[in-house]
Chain A
Amino acid sequence: MSAAAVVGFAQSPVRVREDATTSGVEMLVPIFAEVFRACGLTKSDIGFWCSGSSDYLAGRAFSFVSAVDAIGAVPPAMESHVEMDAAWALYEAWVKVLTGEAEIALAYGFGKSSGAELRRVLALQLDPYLLAPLWPDSVSVAALQARRGLEAGRWTEKDMAEVAARSRAAARSNPDAQVSGSVSAAELLARPYVAEPLRAHDCAPVGDGAAVVIIAAADRARELCERPAWISGFAHQVDSGSLGARDLLSVPSAAGAASAAGAGGVEVAPIELAELHAPFSHQELLLREALGLGDGVTVNPSGGALCGNPMFAAGLARIGLAARAVMSGRASRALGHATSGPALQQNLVCVLSGEAS
């Protein structure tokens, strides 16, 4: 039985915001107001808050504490934080609701990705003994994975460009996207490499943003939302931190999370729509396969992370967008995915349904 559902979602437009602080407050205050208005809630209705953000993006310790200003935490709020994409904060919130500790919970994520050279900062998420001292940047690490697939015949540079072209075309109807437009794969392939074999279109743009999702226990969900997006499965798994020991062409943690979340369950309706957190074009191809998404599934109608990837918020936004598709009736069963770590090391899957099972 589905014990909890997504009832609200909001995100800030993904942009490079020179004037934004790394505390995220300016990005969070408007989207909290938006989601509360949509759900008819106030901050005092929230029984548990959980955020996802990173001190490494902010350049200071305990940076998430400043973001609590956006909550308005007087009287004191039950609050937690993960140094991960806020999709994992939502997982913690979901557990709070399942265990009855909160009826309504809110997860939010924010990242000022542009505060420093992102691809370099992300080197510090790697093994601190054998990898981080070399400063392997995130784009170069993803490029090693892309080449493995190219040389194994799993995809071509044209396949990768087509993912980018399709994403940008889809993003034309998404005002929150940072990148969008009509461009052919052939045009994209004529552009130079940034980290051979990756070109700029293969890599998510660096952008700042925030996202918020509200979930509620069954009874409250029905009151708050005409058509709640019931969470029928929610799971996350991780692959080895030893980059060179992984088979970079399989994503066992994504497949495992999808299986644990019941994404492929035959007893229920198939997934109709998936929002995948693939910060590099070839990773969408890997994830489609790992998650068992066939050609009939609409993937990333928002444009996906290739058109806007605010660090620590983009994964939560994928779940929020998938939930919105269910809440609006555009899909009866949808999947939201989030990733973290180098080359799809860690993966989370949330399956959402229009029917409480």
Chain B
Amino acid sequence: MSHPTAPLRAPLEIEFDYTRSLGPVLSQFMAALAERRILGARGADGRVHAPPFEYDPVSAEPPGELVPVGPEGTVVSWSWMPEPLDGQPLAEPFAWALIRLDGADTAMLHAVDAGSAAAMRTGLRVRPRWAERPAGSIRDIVCFEPGDGPPDGSAPGHAGEVTPGMTITPVRLHYMHTASPGESAYLRGLAEGRLLGQRCGVCGQVYVPTRGTCPADGVTMTEEVELPESGTVTTFCVVNVAYPGQRVTPPYVAAAVLLDGADIAFQHLVLGCDASEVRMGMRVRAVWGESGSISHFTPTGEPDALYESYARCM
């Protein structure tokens, strides 16, 4: 049970897919993986790097023709993963291993499905377990498994959505996000239908939302100020571009709104009139949504504020 003044906390899930172009060397490497072959690169010193380098660490030249290696290899170091993390190659306990593929002089990092730590050892012979449907990524090797001979299995299945020369890496991150004490106070105020700001004890400026620390003086602010829900548009833009997930149909206005009594504007929507009617100096008031938040601002119909009254907050 949280104390009422404790900062608010909530899970924050972030997901994004990185789509990367592979370049000339890794394009060949990934294309070969889809055909269940592994390629390396021979360096100027004769050493074979697998995976291949893009530029020779000795000569700085790009590699010549890539050379086949493995697909079997030998474990040169390993560690045991008793509780696999989200996204790792296997969901059951497995070994991470540096694997020197046959014909290579460097090692490749991957997972080994060994069943137990007792079955792992440096020097263990391993072979790849191929994905049924290649996707053009390093994960076309599902993992390695103990064994010394050609991998089992049939020819590769039909490729998934492979774009030559590109690879997609999904990223999912899980955070417990903590709002600052200032942000927490602001959010709690919103839930009560109040707009809270803070006054800096040094410069006297009033900031809204509450932010904890004066950005001008770098000091903690303690004086809370309740602000009215009326204010002035200091500047604005008309959003004409549609995008996925958009909640308001363009054209609409995103504006900087300076609440009466505040010294800093904040950004919000101005709705309730045609976008072309919104102007600098327009007087607006908050329209509350259902769940403790401001839905948008809307014109009050009062005469416009004089430019001089908000010019310092531009």
Contacts and interface: CB of A to CB of B under 8 A. Distances in A.
A116 B173 contact: yes
Interface string A131-151: 111111100110111111001
A69 B218 contact: yes
A65 B76 CA distance: 43
Interface of B: 6-7, 9, 12, 14, 18, 20, 22, 26, 49, 51, 53, 57, 76-82, 85-89, 96-98, 106-111, 117, 122, 137-139, 167, 169, 171, 173-181, 183, 211-220
Interface in A114-144: 115-117, 119-121, 123-124, 128-137, 140-141, 143-144
Given A120-B85, A140-B79, A143-B96, 11 more contacts: A22-B175, A25-B180, A29-B213, A130-B51, A130-B138, A134-B88, A134-B139, A135-B87, A140-B96, A147-B122, A197-B79
B79 A195 contact: yes
A21 B180 contact: yes
B177 A115 contact: yes
B109 A72 contact: no
Nearest to A243: B109
Contacts of A73: 215-216, 218
Given A72-B219, A144-B98, A244-B106, A135 B88 contact: yes
A161 B212 CA distance: 43
A20 interface: yes
A88 interface: no
B154 to A, nearest CB: 24
A268 B211 CA distance: 50
A248 interface: yes
A156 B308 CA distance: 74
A44 to B, nearest CB: 11
Contacts of A32: 218
B117 A129 contact: no
Contacts of B176: 18, 115-116
Contacts of B51: 130, 242, 244
A59 to B, nearest CB: 4
Given A72-B218, A124-B171, A129-B20, A22 B79 contact: no
A50 B6 CA distance: 31
> Top 8 A-B pairs ranked by shortest CB distance?
A72-B218, A143-B79, A74-B216, A244-B107, A196-B80, A135-B87, A59-B175, A245-B106
A116 B178 CA distance: 11
A77 to B, nearest CB: 10
A245 B175 contact: no
B40 to A, nearest CB: 11
Given A59-B177, A69-B211, A128-B20, A195 B85 contact: no
Contacts of B213: 25, 29, 69-70
A159 interface: no
A26 interface: yes
B200 to A, nearest CB: 10
A23 interface: yes
A23 B85 CA distance: 26
A244 B215 contact: no
